[in-house]
Amino acid sequence: MFKKLNILDEKDKRLRMISKDVQFPLSAEDKELIDRMIEELTYSQIEEYEKKYNLRPGTGLAFPQLGLLKRIIVIVDEYEKGKFENYVVVNPVIVSNSKEMIAADVGEGCLSVNREVEGHVPRYARVTVEGYDIDGNKIKIRAREELAIAFQHEIDHLNGILFFDRINKDKPFFSEYEIRLI
């Protein structure tokens, strides 16, 4: 039986706090919550379920968005129509990044931000993320383009940063000559 997650709104002060590293083994509650996050993110990207459950489409969630200050992120990437890859990273750290910067042409959104925010969010075009899987095994993920943006967005949540904090107030939009828009 599907039950929607209670995602915090941007006004909640917990979204501005820095999350703590997670110790292993993960609790049964944390593992269950990860499964629910994967389910909701997947459903939100399938039009039939998005409408049925009144979901906003989303690619990722971080534990702080659910009121838990733990360094865990979940990304569900639809790499091909109807095909998804799940990324669950505990204690993620960006260990390297490209010099090249990109931004989502239409801007970014967030399941905790229930309003339109205009502006380009500069991000690295490629990142390498290290962390642990749910069993405590060390993992390394190389991400590029949209997936790299998703990792940077979710890791920001662990540090109390919301995407609009990264929009330049004096120059919210870039031309394609200044930054590669994807």
Active centre residues (catalytic) = 154
> What's the rounded Cα separation, in Å, for the pair 66 and 62?
7
Give the up-direction half-sphere exposure of residue 27: CA atoms within 13 A in the CB hemisphere.
Answer: 6
Residues near 37 by beta carbon (within 8 Å), at least 6 away in sequence: 5, 61, 66, 74
**Residue 123, beta-bridge partner list:** 102
Give the up-direction half-sphere exposure of residue 63: CA atoms within 13 A in the CB hemisphere.
Answer: 25
Segment holding 159, helix H or strand E: none
> What's the rounded Cα separation, in Å, for the pair 71 and 17?
11
